[in-house]
Structure 1
Amino acid sequence: MWMWVVHRVTGVAIFFFLVVHVLDTALVRVSPEAYNVVIESYKTPIYGLVEAGLVAAIVLHAFNGIRIILVDTWPWALRHQRLMVWIVWGIFALMMLAFLPRHLSHVFGGA
């Protein structure tokens, strides 16, 4: 049940990011100066942490979605659902461990 909640929360977070992304990109047609101000505000450490959260939501949502497809398609996957949840969390952890050091070094002033 918790993975159901996680999948819905990450899906809603990704949806709201996409809405904001479409709106801020559309702003360039209305006022290029306002667009530049908005884009400049995205270069702050706080937004860098938000980006890390967005990447985490996308990675978790994607791999959990694959798990859901497997469970819905093959009977053997339904029997091994708990193992597959742990595999999803393991892949998520590995991908975030690979992503976060480099991303956060850029966010907080590294090269």
Structure 2
Amino acid sequence: MPAKVTGAEGTAASATTSVPEPRRSVLSTGTLYRGREGMWSWVLHRITGVAIYFFLLVHILDTALIRVSPEAYNAVMESYKNPVMGIGELFLVGAVGFHALNGLRIILVDFWKVGTRHHRTMFWGVLGVWAVLMIGFTPRHLMNVFGG
């Protein structure tokens, strides 16, 4: 049993050497995520997935109108022919494109031996391919939307 030492206030303290507390790294405090490629990939994949889900829900509902009332279906389809919906279609195509390309990246990370080592490079590759595809699609789509 270690010897007891009495301090200036008369309290007993252990005479054994004290072990210093381990240093806390910057990453051990606060949130784990610091805005790197993996986090942004995860966030964008979830956002695009939810957006696509809601589009599909609306699409199924408005398509089901044809069984109820063809006139109502035609009215809804006619209301979609405006520039706001055209911009929405652009965002939808962008969401589907990113979600699909990022899904392929996730498959590579999961099933390729060195996928985890290259996930950052693949994320930037996904963004590059997505940007090239969107640059090709956007002008042609907007010409159709705005009648150019």
* Superposition TM-score tier, normalisation by shorter sequence: over 0.9
Q: Work out which of the residue numbers 29, 37, 40 in structure 1 matches 2:78.
A: 40
Q: Could you tell me how far apart the structure 1 residues matched to 2:74 and 2:119 are?
A: 47
What residue identity is the alignment partner of 2:60? V
- Tell me which of the two structures has the higher relative contact order, counting C-alpha pairs closer than 8 angstroms and 6 or more residues apart: 1
Name the count of aligned residue pairs. Answer: 110
Q: Aligned-pair RMSD on alpha carbons? A: 0.6
Q: Could you tell me how far apart the structure 1 residues matched to 2:85 and 2:79 are?
A: 8
Q: Work out which of the residue numbers 94, 103, 124 in structure 2 matches 1:65.
A: 103
Q: Could you tell me how far apart the structure 2 residues matched to 1:30 and 1:81 are?
A: 48
Higher strand share: 2
TM-score by length of 1: 0.97
Q: Work out which of the residue numbers 72, 79, 82 in structure 1 matches 2:117.
A: 79
Q: Which residue of 1 aligns with 2:27?
A: none
Structure 1: any 5+ residue segments left out of the alignment?
none
Give the percent of matched residue pairs that are identical in Structure 1 and Structure 2. Answer: 63
Q: Work out which of the residue numbers 40, 45, 58 in structure 2 matches 1:7.
A: 45
**C-alpha displacement of 1:109:** 1.1
Greater than 2 Å deviation, 4+ residue runs: none
What residue identity is the alignment partner of 2:87? L
**C-alpha displacement of 1:75:** 2.3
- Larger Rg: 1 or 2? 2
Higher helix share: 1
**C-alpha displacement of 1:86:** 0.5
What residue identity is the alignment partner of 1:97? I
